[in-house]
Amino acid sequence: MDNNTQKAFLEQILNSNANAKNNTKSNKAKANTYGINTPLGTVIVIADIKHAYFLAFKDQENIENKIKMLIKKTNFTITVEKNSIISLIEEELNQYFKGKLTKFTTPIYMIGSNFQKQVWAALLKTSYGQTQSYLEIANSLNLPQHSRAVAKANASNLLSIIIPCHRIINNNNKLGGYSGGIERKKYLIETEKEIVAKNYL
């Protein structure tokens, strides 16, 4: 996606949200958004000068609703422009897709309920090249009866790839869903496993 197309897409989302248009005078919390090209398509990033708040594929399910929800909860005024955090994510994504980075260091800020944050923290402990089931995540939280709630929290992740929800699979070992698309999930899991295997040879 070229820069003009990125800007038009992002401004369309922002302009459809009343907060994004009307809170400039009353709100001093500012953030930036930008599209980053990857081998799997363009990802949209939202970050302020300290943290990343959002990363999702441009064609991901419900992306507009997720962005609007984020703006509502943070009351951000968002500008379509890179900042230092977005540039850092861009570099780390580049290294990740080359198989040279297995853990992101970009500072993140998780927007969600306490339970969602617990689940996302557990996802961050799922190692590169490994997968876990929703039940395994639930067990790690001492909540073995809540694998469905874990799956729902997994789907609500606002920081795809960085918080590796793609590494979480169904309890029957099938891939399960992924808001970025099942083919992307398959690619990410298989590529990570291949990189790990090569490093052990």
Cα–Cα distance, 137 to 144 (Å, whole number)? 8
Identify whether 164 is a catalytic site residue. Answer: no
Please name which of 34, 28, 37, 13 lies closest in space to residue 84, comparing C-alpha atoms. Answer: 34
Helix axes 147-155, 114-124, angle to 10 degrees: 80
120: number of CA atoms within 13 Å, CB side? 20
List the beta bridge partners of residue 52. Answer: 47, 108
3-class SS of residue 31: strand
Please list, in sequence order, all residues whose beta carbon lies within 8 angstroms of the beta carbon of residue 66, skipping any fewer than 6 positions away.
Answer: 54, 56, 158
Select which of 150, 165, 169, 189 is catalytic: 165
Sheet of 30-38: strands edge to edge? 52-57, 41-47, 30-38, 77-80
DSSP state for residue 108 in the 8-state scheme: B
> What are the residue numbers of the active site?
165
